Amino acid sequence: MNKTQVTNPIIWADVPDVDAIRVGNAYYMVSTSMHSMPGCPIMRSEDLMHWEVVSYVYDTFEDNEAHRLEGGKNIYGQGSWAASLRHHRGTFYVCFSSNDTRKFYVYRTDNIVQGPWQRSVIDGLRHDPGLLFDDDRVFVIYGNGDIYITELTADAAALKSDGIHQRLFETEAEGIGLRCEGCHAYRINGYYYLLFIEWPKAGFGNGRRRQICYRSRELLGPYERRIVLDDDLGYHNKGIAQGGMFDTPDGKWYAMLFQDHDAVGRIPCLVPVAWEEDWPVFGIEGKVPERFEVDLPQAVVKPLVISDEFEYESNKLALNWQWNHNPDHRLWSVTERPGFLRLTTGSLAPAGVLQARNTLTQRTEGPACTGTVLLDTEHMKPGDHAGLVALQSHFGTVGVKVAENGHKFIAMSVNDGSGREKELETVRYRGSEVHLRIDFDFENSKDVASFHYSVDGAEWMQIGGELNMRYTLDHFMGYRIGLYYYATRQTGGHADFDYFRYEKAER
């Protein structure tokens, strides 16, 4: 059998809170998507190194002002968190909590790629939940420090009224800054295993995130505890932890965990797992290997982030794209002007790009990447802004703005500290079409973005200053590159993007 070379991180992009399973010869993984829609991306792999987005659990999961970026409200850093993915007796299940709605969501389907997904909503927040199927019973285990167990009905659609609902145990507190959370629950060979992360304070151990395992012969305990991984792959004491484990058809075990990697986001790593005296042992001699082989033939490599000429036969985008918050589907099209993405304004966003509806995004990738668009500004109205954004709380934009007198300017802007745009440089522009580009550099934690424009697509001018990118918890997401268009004075204009072209540097 041909083997696949694994290089960690397996994905150098923001795919956080991963949960992976195997069904037959295929591996599926879900991750946190927060304010990006559609959400709860399902990724598929056959060799554990190369993953492709094959579906989403939902297009949107709530419809209110915050989810629609209306009334000055938003769900940055909220939305769906830490989804759990399971397959039981032919049905796939995904569950997560949403911090903004304070509700617990369970989705289920017989077809993880095609759907449809049936949704159930349960009142109450169940932080970082882990689903556990135990014969004919279903449980969700969750919490932070205090770990709770709640029994669900057999279809996982509701709380079981006469089932188990109690605190399971309390995790270590001494010297711990972030106590155990992010549960992944399993029953294997007569033991119940609960995987968590915890983060010791500085001066206690290595002072970084680490992987914890609790195990018991009985569901309700008592549970034994062990640190099963405490390693940073040589990257700035950023621990690799939080995720689940699974086996291959030939009985080998692996874990999919993630690592905080500054501005690019939280990135997944594949970790070999061995078993010693019925304890999972993560890594090789306590370390996450940078390179190793798996006994699986290499699959066809498909990109996570794609270029797009916007040549579609129907008004449906490639799965690689996600909207920032719920889109207004009346106000975008890839068929109205064939070969172009058309964004139309239907509401005002006086606060700027963070409040712009229908910003279309993809992830950024390390070690470096570049996104370029060709923008047609002919039908933009006074007060309109369109272009490219390096999207996080500490954002940077390069684009065209139309002044009240109809004059056009190329502008580079950043967050002024309150969420509004602060212009660092403007250049008068008299044309209709303009090329825009953002370069991202994540190599060795450089975390810098630069912004450029061109009249002809050949000669480029840098504009504004370099953006020192920062991962901040108010957005809780790695930097994305987005195509935006918004109005500040009147609606009804439109901006046409001829293409989005993407390149990434090789490792």
DSSP string, 416-483: -SSSSEEEEEEEEE--SEEEEEEEEE-GGG--EEEEEEESSSSSEEE-SPPEE----TTT-S--EEEE
**Who's near 245: CB < 8 A, 6+ residues apart?**
184, 186, 195, 253, 254, 255, 256, 273, 280
CB atoms within 10 A of CB 307: 14
**Who's near 98: CB < 8 A, 6+ residues apart?**
61, 62, 78, 79, 80, 81, 105, 125
Residue whose tokens read 């950043």: 414
**DSSP for residue 305:** S
Cβ burial 127-144 (10 Å sphere, 16+ → b, else e): bbbbbbbeeeebbbbbbb
CB atoms within 10 A of CB 91: 16
Cα 411 to the chain's mean position, in Å?
29
**What residues does 213 pair with on adjacent strands?**
195, 226
Cα–Cα nearest to 288, from 2, 73, 9: 9
Cα separation of 142 and 124, whole Å?
A: 12
Residue type, 256: M
Cα 479 to the chain's mean position, in Å?
10
Of 14, 19, 47, 181, catalytic? 181
- 181 is annotated as an active-site residue: yes
- As given in the structure block, the two tokens for residue 477 are 């997401």
- 172 is annotated as an active-site residue: no
Cα separation of 245 and 240, whole Å?
A: 14
Distances, alpha carbon 427 to alpha carbons 407, 414, 488, in Å? 11, 16, 20
Of 17, 308, 365, 376, catalytic? 17
Q: Looking at 89-209, which runs of residues are DSSP E strands?
A: 91-98, 103-109, 118-123, 130-134, 137-144, 146-152, 165-170, 176-188, 191-200
**Would you please indicate which residues are annotated as catalytic (active-site) residues?**
17, 181
